[in-house]
Structure 1
Amino acid sequence: MKYNNPVIPGFYPDPSVCRVGEDYYLVNSSFAYFPGIPIWHSKDLVHWRQLGYCLTRESQLQLEKSGVSGGVWAPTIRYHQGRFYMVTTNQDYGGHFYVWTNDPSGDWSDPIYVDQEGIDPSLYFDEDGKVYFTSTGTQSGMGIYQCEIDIETGTKLSESRLIWSGTGGKFPEGPHLFKRNGYYYLMCAEGGTEYGHMETIARAKTPYGPFESGPMNPILSHRSLGHPIQATGHADLVEAHDGIWWAVFLGIRPVGYPPRHHLGRETFLAPVHWSEDGWPMIGNNGVVELEMEAETLSPVYWENNSEIDHFDEPSLGMHWNFLRNSEKVDWSLSERPGWLALNGRSVQLKERTGTPALIARRQQHWNCEVSVKMEFQPAEGADAGLTVFMDDSYHYALGLTMLDGRHFVTLKRQVGSISDEKISLPVLGNVIELKIRALPDKYQFYYQGNDHEWNLLGEAETHLLSTEVAGGFTGVFFGMYNYSSLGTTAYFDWFHYKEQ
């Protein structure tokens, strides 16, 4: 059977997967976006539906001082004796912690912290009842460190020990320990999460080693290949209920030359083949394709989400996110039924701290359109509308504003320390439709007023919002925003995301 990669497109990096019977669960990093750590469910590893988020309360996730690429990194999900565990690291508050639940679509516990340095934590539940906590060292030196913990309290039961330094690539990270045929396998990513990314593996007879490096390392890498998928790595393995092994991992899809990517690091899938002497290889000798031919599980499809959100449900859809702390954003779906009411804040999109009035969703396709119908009576200098947002220093915003008592549509482009603004002809009234058309290499910005004609206000390059230009670890979001020091409300009748 053929299937297409990525299996979860858009900014969904650092995937980790576990199986419970014939059900599969996957989590991704979310960095400084709230709610934190999206969780997915699948019956076939190819088709995924989002169940919700692991971190939905301020008591679980503090992001007040986080940069866009700060916050929570590299989660691992595991299942043991009726409980799901998700372990991650908050870079800016508290370090490593895990939460647990009996129902992955419901509420998760408050954090349980583990006192081990580094990033990218993972859990392994051994057959003898011991629980191993494995992570990437940063202060004591790069490498993979491990200790035993009490899973009820997070208390360390042994000292942290360096168990493997990788094969020589920079930044050995993203470790996962698992067991097969009497061997403990330790898998990690090396080379950095850029174009030299790769996945390597080692094995030993005990959880602490000594670990023997796999003879065919790296077992996954697209480095130095002219391939539409790049930066593959940060993998996790799962044995399907039919006995076939699979890997989920991150990759990017660059655009143009020199290559640059703006959708972020995405979730890919490939089969795992085991050699006669017990070593795994991912994909076709470490290479994966946009279209894969593999012996997959019987497909199970989920109902597609509607392209248009009319804001007539009692809560926001799962695809919506806030930057940093949602508690500081004043919004309502009940103030005006059928509309999203978003009150303005004095925090601008270009500010490095604080929480702007921003409700956003990921861009998941190179070719797509987003549009809104908005009613807004701006005060002088305030603006609300649509944004294409990579981070505080790299974003575009199309909004309605008031200047000298008249309404205008503005296109603001922020690229590093350089800002510019294009202003439309005056528009009548305070009800307007805004549209952003995304192409692989550019965005086009349109508005429609009382004349019911789409007017092109300007364009902007996608590569200026790419990781190669902007830095960081996230991808582009489309969002509704409202900058207003007086707290003026913008009302959104609908939001339409359409793949083209």
Structure 2
Amino acid sequence: MQYENPVLPGTHPDPTVCRVGDDYYLATSSFEYFPGVPLYHSNDLVSWEHIGHALDRESQLDLEDIESSDGIYAPTLRHHEGTFYLVTTLVGGEGNFVVTADDPAGEWSDPVSLDAPGFDPDLFFEGDTAYLSYAAGPTLPETTIKNATVDLETGDVGEPQELWEGIEGTFCEAPHLYEVDGTYYLLTAEGGTHVNHMVVAARADDPMGPFEPCPRNPILSHRGHPMRSIDATGHGDLVDAPDGSWWLVFLGIRQRGGHPGWHHLGRETFLAPVEWDGGWPVVNGGDPVEIETTVDSLPGEGTPRPSAPARATREAFDGERLDGAFEYRRNPDADAYSLDGEELTLRPRTTSLDEPGATFVGRRQAQFDCRVEADIAFDPDPGEEAGLALIADERHHYEIGIAGREGNPIAFVRLRVGDLCDVVAERPVEGTDHRLAVDATAEAYRFRIGTDDEGTEELASAATRYLATEVTGCFTGVYVGPYATGSSDARSDDREGERAARFERFAYEPSE
């Protein structure tokens, strides 16, 4: 049987997985995006359905003052005695905390803060005792893994003990602790989260150690394999299946452009089979993991199908809630977004997308080749604009929009790359109804304008590489969606009138 990696394409870093019976549940990091920590369900580890977010209330997650690429780091999802536990870190905020739920698709609790420093927390249960492992150190990259008992009701953490400093002594992070046939195994990541990334393993007779390293470490890494289709593999989590098979979910990137390459879809979630040899896990038979992966069988029955992020998003904005693929950059202001059963209305909060509080809602770009369209009804005054944006962070974004000018409004394409910002195309437009489109390939975005009853014409194009992590330095890939901005004067006007941007349709269509 063959399946295709990544199993969760687009920004899905730091995957963590747990099994309950025949059901698998998976969560990933979400950084500055809200709701936080997307959750997925599967019966075969390949076909993942989005079932919600663990952090969907402001009482759980306040991102107002969080910098881009801070926020929610590296959760761990576990199930113990009928309760789901998710432990994670709000970097730039209050640190480590835990939330719980009876049903991962239901409502999660408010956070309980954990009295421990560091990041990348992990939970391990043995009987009535819960252990909290985490990465900590004086500064990066000098981190080690510490472990302590934890009271998950109060957040009190016992005296920590150093478990493991890794095999290289730098960027030792992402711990996950397991018990397999009476032996305790520790998986960690090392080498940073780019091309030197790797997964290493250690084992002990006690959850507090001492741990001995696997003689075949790293058990997964694509360092030393340049120009592969998958790179930067690391940060893995093990799970077993009812049929006795074992699997590893882990993050990786799909670089483009040769050497040095770039990746703009973010760090994605991949899957590989695991066997045990001499009491140690062996990932994919010790070979590099490929896009097309062949295995004897997968857990569950049926034919694997594309996971939720890989499928199209077609939103007519005719419901009470947005499609679950959409997320906001930080907590949304209710005054800036409204649904009335016919359209999505956006009102500006900032003068540009360069500001953290900008009105924007988008979904992950999950394919190199895709088409994005939005139908907008907009009659802007000078200083107002709205349209479609491709965003990596506040200093790296592209947009095609409609802007108010004295006389006729204009359609335009603007590129922001670090300190450089330029409107690369503009032309007058008539009327209030417009179709904005972006055709994406691995190398370029092509920006198009038209109406819903005629074809679109290209206004400009731009290279994808300038929204890539190798340029931006950020931890997320590109998100695409509607936005609205306005000058201070425009934003002080009555926003209930015609000048609000009304989006009547959004479509994300894979073309791979």
Q: 1:367 to 1:302 in 2, by over 3 A?
A: closer
User: 1:301 & 1:278 partners in 2: Cα distance?
Assistant: 31
Partner of 1:261: 263
Matched, 1:448 2:459: no
The question of whether the paired residues in 2 share the 8 Å contact of 1:429 and 1:450 is answered with no
- Tell me how far 1:386 sits from its aligned partner: 0.2
- Tell me how far 1:450 sits from its aligned partner: 8.5
- Tell me how far 1:382 sits from its aligned partner: 1.3
User: 1:378 & 1:12 partners in 2: Cα distance?
Assistant: 36
- Single out whichever of 321-330 and 263-272 deviates more from structure 2: 321-330
User: 2:88 & 2:464 partners in 1: Cα distance?
Assistant: 31
Residue deviations 1:302-353, cap 9 Å, x none? Answer: 797654211112111111010011135521111xx321111222252112x3
SS at match of 2:233: strand
- Tell me how far 1:179 sits from its aligned partner: 0.5
Residue deviations 1:106-141, cap 9 Å, x none? Answer: 1100001111111100000013x2100000013375
Matched, 1:339 2:343: yes
TM-score normalised by the chain length of structure 2 = 0.94
User: 1:456 & 1:5 partners in 2: Cα distance?
Assistant: 33
Partner of 1:217: 217
Q: 1:396 to 1:427 in 2, by over 3 A?
A: same
Partner of 2:507: 496
- Tell me how far 1:449 sits from its aligned partner: 4.2
User: 2:335 & 2:48 partners in 1: Cα distance?
Assistant: 30
SS at match of 1:348: coil
Partner of 2:21: 21
Q: 1:154 to 1:212 in 2, by over 3 A?
A: same
Q: 1:236 to 1:286 in 2, by over 3 A?
A: farther
- Single out whichever of 325-334 and 188-197 deviates more from structure 2: 325-334
Partner of 2:246: 245
Matched, 1:348 2:347: no
Residue deviations 1:65-84, cap 9 Å, x none? Answer: 11220100000000001100
- Tell me how far 1:227 sits from its aligned partner: 0.8
- Tell me how far 1:102 sits from its aligned partner: 0.1
SS at match of 2:286: coil
Task: Write out aligned runs for 1:303-322 (5 A).
Answer: 307-322=313-328
The question of whether the paired residues in 1 share the 8 Å contact of 2:377 and 2:433 is answered with yes
The question of whether the paired residues in 2 share the 8 Å contact of 1:329 and 1:357 is answered with no
SS at match of 1:424: strand
Structure 2, unpaired ranges of 5+: none
Partner of 1:325: 331
Partner of 2:302: 299
Residue deviations 1:358-414, cap 9 Å, x none? Answer: 011000000000001100111102110001111101110100012222111011100
The question of whether the paired residues in 2 share the 8 Å contact of 1:44 and 1:300 is answered with no
User: 1:356 & 1:67 partners in 2: Cα distance?
Assistant: 13
Partner of 1:106: 106
Residue deviations 1:231-271, cap 9 Å, x none? Answer: 00000000111110100000000011221000000000001
The question of whether the paired residues in 2 share the 8 Å contact of 1:329 and 1:356 is answered with no
Q: 1:499 to 1:306 in 2, by over 3 A?
A: closer
2:415 aligns with one of 403, 413, 422:
413
User: 1:369 & 1:359 partners in 2: Cα distance?
Assistant: 17
The one-letter amino acid of 1:373's match is D
Task: Write out aligned runs for 1:61-460 (5 A).
Answer: 61-127=61-127, 129-139=128-138, 141-156=142-157, 158-168=158-168, 170-225=170-225, 226-257=227-258, 258-275=260-277, 277-294=278-295, 295-297=297-299, 298-299=301-302, 307-327=313-333, 330-334=336-340, 337-351=341-355, 353=356, 355-449=357-451, 452-460=454-462
Q: 1:69 to 1:456 in 2, by over 3 A?
A: same
User: 1:357 & 1:347 partners in 2: Cα distance?
Assistant: 10
SS at match of 2:427: coil
User: 1:199 & 1:492 partners in 2: Cα distance?
Assistant: 44
> What is the identity percentage for the equivalent residue pairs of Structure 1 and Structure 2?
43
- Tell me how far 1:430 sits from its aligned partner: 1.2
SS at match of 2:471: helix
TM-score normalised by the chain length of structure 1 = 0.96
Task: Write out aligned runs for 1:41-56 (5 A).
Answer: 41-56=41-56
User: 1:280 & 1:39 partners in 2: Cα distance?
Assistant: 26
Q: 1:357 to 1:218 in 2, by over 3 A?
A: same
The question of whether the paired residues in 1 share the 8 Å contact of 2:445 and 2:461 is answered with yes
User: 2:223 & 2:170 partners in 1: Cα distance?
Assistant: 14
Aligned residues: 493
Structure 1, unpaired ranges of 5+: none
User: 2:287 & 2:87 partners in 1: Cα distance?
Assistant: 27
SS at match of 1:464: helix
The one-letter amino acid of 1:219's match is I
- Tell me how far 1:18 sits from its aligned partner: 0.2
SS at match of 1:452: coil
Q: 1:166 to 1:420 in 2, by over 3 A?
A: same
- Tell me how far 1:421 sits from its aligned partner: 0.3
User: 1:63 & 1:234 partners in 2: Cα distance?
Assistant: 24
User: 1:138 & 1:440 partners in 2: Cα distance?
Assistant: 38
Q: 1:222 to 1:427 in 2, by over 3 A?
A: same
- Single out whichever of 229-238 and 452-461 deviates more from structure 2: 452-461
Q: 1:450 to 1:263 in 2, by over 3 A?
A: closer
- Single out whichever of 397-406 and 461-470 deviates more from structure 2: 397-406
Q: 1:286 to 1:179 in 2, by over 3 A?
A: farther
The question of whether the paired residues in 2 share the 8 Å contact of 1:380 and 1:405 is answered with no
The question of whether the paired residues in 1 share the 8 Å contact of 2:98 and 2:152 is answered with no
The question of whether the paired residues in 2 share the 8 Å contact of 1:248 and 1:268 is answered with yes
User: 2:25 & 2:102 partners in 1: Cα distance?
Assistant: 13
User: 1:159 & 1:300 partners in 2: Cα distance?
Assistant: 48
